[in-house]
Amino acid sequence: MLSRLKFILPLMAAGALLAAPTAFAVPAAPAAATAPQLETIIKPKASTADHSKFKELNRNFRTGPQVTEACLICHTEAAKQVQHTKHWTWESTDPKTGQVRGKKNIINNYCTSPVSNEKDCMACHAGYGWKDDNFDFKVEKNVDCLICHDQTGTYRKLPGDAGHPVYKRVEFPKGSGKFVEPADLKKVAQSIGMPSRSNCGSCHFFGAGGNGAKHGDLDASLQHPGKYLDVHMDEKGLNFTCTTCHATSSHEVSGSRYNVAAAVKGPAHIRGKQDESPAACQSCHSDKPHHEAMLNQHTEKLACQTCHIPEYARNEVGTEASWDWSQATIMGPDGKPMVSKDSAGRRKFDSKKGTWVWDSYVIPEYRWYNGVSTYKVIGDKIDPSKTVQINEVGGSPNDPDSRIWPTKVHRGKQPYDKVNNYLTVQHTAGEDHTALWHNFDWQKAIGAGMKAAKLPYSGEYGFVDTEMTWPITHMVAPKHDALSCEQCHSKQGRLQGIAGVYLPSRDSNRWLDMAGWTLVLLSLIGVLIHGGLRIYTGKNKGQHK
Amino acid sequence: MNTVNRRIYLYSRYERFWHWSQALLVILMMITGFEVHGSYKLLGFGNAVNLHTVSAWLLLTLWAFTIFWQFTTDEWRQYIPSLKKVDAMVRYYAFGIFRNAPNPFHKTAAKKHNPLQRLAYLALLSMVSPVIWGSGLFYLFYSSWKGLGVDAWLSLEAVAFVHTAGAFMMLVFFIAHVYLTTTGHTPTAHIKTMVTGWEEVD
Ligand code: HEM
């Protein structure tokens, strides 16, 4: 026994000595890579060129393409570069699945498809003149430089002009009594600068035809946000522009929902380095951004956005939760088209478009996501007995490249071909007799849309439930507004529906709990009975001792 | 009350310090542990986790010192089990105690624990503690699993299961243990002894 002891004793002592310092291992800060204080790095952008001094631009331009020709005198490769990007092609090929998607090919859950509606939709195309499928994608002067580079804020493109800016004073919206003035294209050309928030925002804040309507994490309040809304873009703080994160080279803008870097690993990046995902949080913050190891280990399962964007549309602008097209063509009591708004002044019903439901301060829906979305493209078969998934986000708990992501799920009702079982393309915008918004006739609108899409139409349409899933990534909250532990670590928490992870406090083994608490209860009862008997028998014998 | 009371010094200063700090830590760990487990809301999940973790390290350190102390003072022999008189102890707790029969065991400095106690403490030391410690350490170092390849053969769910099972055993032990402190010649006699170190024996 004693010889055994001699062996055990030093072992224990050594163990104790080893154990004591490890006590400090956990709270001690690992080399946590917090983001550099960018306010000290980013200076107001000062270009080396003053475009107002260039004689090429000192001209009275009449059209957008004329300006582009002037730009291309010096920027010889710019148009070719733009023509390779989604901003021009409205098409994108998934690098992993090979699926060809993009606005041109999918039917989304809002305005559905631009096909047959190009004159309106192309107000947000970085080009001039895309009005039908005869558009020539090789003509360089049709690239619109100004929509991204104008710094006067006067350059506007309206629906109906196929991507051309306003050349003549025009009432917009029609019948509103409000007028849009044409921009002085010379002044615009001379103002050229790097894209500001308003350049990107002129399209991306107003997706689906209304402020904040589409994304939920992008709206015009990001022009002048406070810290609460967006810790990075906070005008009085870091004051990021869109391109601070969406680092761009050769006009290729990084970061896209069509190809999301869902699970970026490793340390923070050095800007300028060849970088797959400069727009990802991790490129500045690394995948271990916290001081506590316990929090850092969460990044193996969670996207940063999950905790740090606790709600999206955190303002009164809000975002659309649903769009029901089946209500379109319903007329007002007087038989005339009708519109109505909700109490916050957001569109609620329009005989042209149907009904919408808006929401603000929205709690995201959480999904496993690996960055790959598979879209329904025009002509893809659907099962009308189920809710049609406009896009399906890929990913699973056991996939090392998947993370739990916050998403906006936008719900809708869309027309579909009841015989051929696919979503229809409809001709909505325009002044002709087949346009839905002019003639309020679904049959004609679908007929014209399907013809333009070169898709057979059976002549029978119905409406089907749809869902579209958007990963949420903007409007990052200040750290003190991030989710608290309890918001997921509890029985009715945010991640209630997420399978494949053991979440302390949410999960437990039912049988063990039952057995455990039964045993605890029995010992309590046993002890009470024993103690009660002691008191009782003690009394009977009179006071002892 | 006319028996001549003899006092013996049963628990040294370190022993008492160790006992009470362990008691405090274990209570804290039960409170925070079952909150982490989701049984109730009290301090908030984050606070419970932090307190549980800090207590774990404190307890680990305390244990390191105590094991050292046990072996340098030879006190570990107090836990060597013996079946002698176990039946007498069982009979005492089951019947004798209600009839005011004398406790068959007499504490001495060399034998502080009655045979039943010895068995119970040994079970605690050799079964419950390893279960809690083993699983607790795995739980604590969850973030290192990947680097060590542990995630290939172990799931957090399994670790939590074992740890929770250990926690239930600890709670049951705790209930019985606290109750049995009231079985001295006065209900608080045992507690007093553990505070002062002195035991009155008749
Ligand atoms: C009397 C002692 C203890 C009790 C009653 C206890 C109880 C519990 C319980 C019930 C849980 C929740 C398990 C779950 O549902 O997932 C838990 C979690 C945990 N326990 Fe313990 N435990 C004790 C000691 C320890 C020790 C000694 C360690 C470390 C060596 C430890 C480390 C942990 C860890 C790391 C967790 C996960 C939550 C956290 O990170 O704090 N526990 N404990």
pLDDT tens digits along B23-81:
999 999 999 999 999 999 999 999 999 999 999 999 999 999 999 999 999 888 888 88
Please tell me the distance in Å from B126's CA to the nearest CA on chain A: 15
Please tell me the distance from the alpha carbon of residue A539 to that of residue B36, in angstroms, as a whole number. Answer: 44
Burial class, B117, CB count within 10 angstroms (exposed 0-12 / middle 13-18 / buried 19+)? middle
The first and second tokens of residue A106, run together, are 């999918």
A539 touching B (Cβ < 8 Å): no
A529 touching B (Cβ < 8 Å): no
Please tell me the distance from the alpha carbon of residue A513 to that of residue B158, in angstroms, as a whole number. Answer: 14
- Nearest Cβ partner for B172 among A5, A484, A523: A523
For the stretch B117-150, pLDDT in tens is 888 888 888 899 999 999 999 999 998 898 899 9
Residue B96 has pLDDT above 50, yes or no: yes
- The torsion angles phi and psi of A179, rounded to 5 degrees, stand at -120, 145
Please tell me the distance from the alpha carbon of residue A443 to that of residue A447, in angstroms, as a whole number. Answer: 6
In b/e form, how buried is each residue of A360-394, taking b as 16+ CB within 10 angstroms?
Answer: bebebebbbbbbbbbbbbbbeebebeeebbbbebb
One-letter identity of residue A102: G
- Cβ of B164 closer than 6 Å to ligand 1, yes or no, is yes
Measuring CA to CA, how many Å separate A63 from each of A98, A186, A188?
Answer: 38, 10, 12
Instruction: Determine the pLDDT at residue A113.
Output: 96
Asked whether residue B11 is domain-assigned, the answer is: yes
Please tell me the distance from the alpha carbon of residue A318 to that of residue A514, in angstroms, as a whole number. Answer: 45
- Domain of B133 in residue numbering reads as 6-201
Instruction: Determine the pLDDT at residue A81.
Output: 97
CB neighbours of residue B81 within 10 Å: 14
CATH of the domain at B89: 1.20.950
Asked whether residue B118 is domain-assigned, the answer is: yes
Task: Calculate the CA B186 to chain-centre distance.
Answer: 22
Q: Do A504 and B1 touch (CB under 8 A)?
A: no
Q: Name the A residues in 51-80 with CB < 8 Å from any B CB.
A: none
- Cβ of B129 closer than 6 Å to ligand 1, yes or no, is no
The first and second tokens of residue B177, run together, are 């243990």
Q: Which residue did the predictor score with more confidence, B86 or A109?
A: A109
Asked whether residue B1 is domain-assigned, the answer is: no
Residue B2 has pLDDT above 70, yes or no: no
Asked whether residue B86 is domain-assigned, the answer is: yes
Q: Which helix (H) or strand (E) holds A541?
A: none
Number of domains in chain B: 1
- pLDDT of chain A along its 545 residues, tens only? 444 444 444 444 444 444 444 434 333 333 444 554 444 444 456 789 999 999 999 999 999 999 999 999 999 999 999 999 999 999 999 988 899 999 999 999 999 999 999 999 999 999 999 999 999 999 999 999 999 999 999 999 999 999 999 999 999 988 899 999 999 999 999 999 999 999 999 999 999 999 999 999 999 999 999 999 999 999 999 999 999 999 898 999 998 888 888 888 888 876 666 667 889 999 999 999 999 988 999 999 999 999 999 999 999 999 999 999 999 999 999 999 999 999 999 999 999 999 999 999 999 999 999 999 999 999 999 999 999 999 999 999 999 999 999 999 999 999 999 999 999 999 999 999 999 999 999 999 999 999 999 999 999 999 999 999 999 999 999 999 999 999 999 999 999 999 999 999 999 999 999 999 999 999 999 999 999 999 998 765 544 43
From the candidates A8, A297, A514, which should be mutated to test the interface with B, based on the most B CB atoms within 10 A? A297
- Cβ of B133 closer than 6 Å to ligand 1, yes or no, is yes
In b/e form, how buried is each residue of A290-316, taking b as 16+ CB within 10 angstroms?
Answer: bebbbbbbbbbbbbbbbbbbbbbbbbe
Instruction: Determine the pLDDT at residue A18.
Output: 45
- Kindly give the residue spans of alpha helices, DSSP state H, lying in B73-155: 86-94, 115-123, 129-140, 145-148
- Cβ of B167 closer than 6 Å to ligand 1, yes or no, is yes
Please tell me the distance from the alpha carbon of residue A246 to that of residue A264, in angstroms, as a whole number. Answer: 15
Instruction: Determine the pLDDT at residue A540.
Output: 59
* Long-range pairs for A492-498: beta carbons < 8 A, 24 or more residues apart: A494/A363, A494/A366, A495/A366, A495/A404, A497/A366, A498/A366, A498/A368, A498/A404
Total-model pTM:
0.88
One-letter identity of residue A91: E
Instruction: Determine the pLDDT at residue A2.
Output: 44
A531 touching B (Cβ < 8 Å): yes
One-letter identity of residue A226: G
State in Å: Cα A526 to ligand 1 middle: 27
What is the three-class DSSP state of A341?
Answer: strand
Asked whether residue B69 is domain-assigned, the answer is: yes
Q: Across-strand partners of B11?
A: none
Could you tell me the pLDDT band of residue B200, with boundaries at 50, 70 and 90? confident
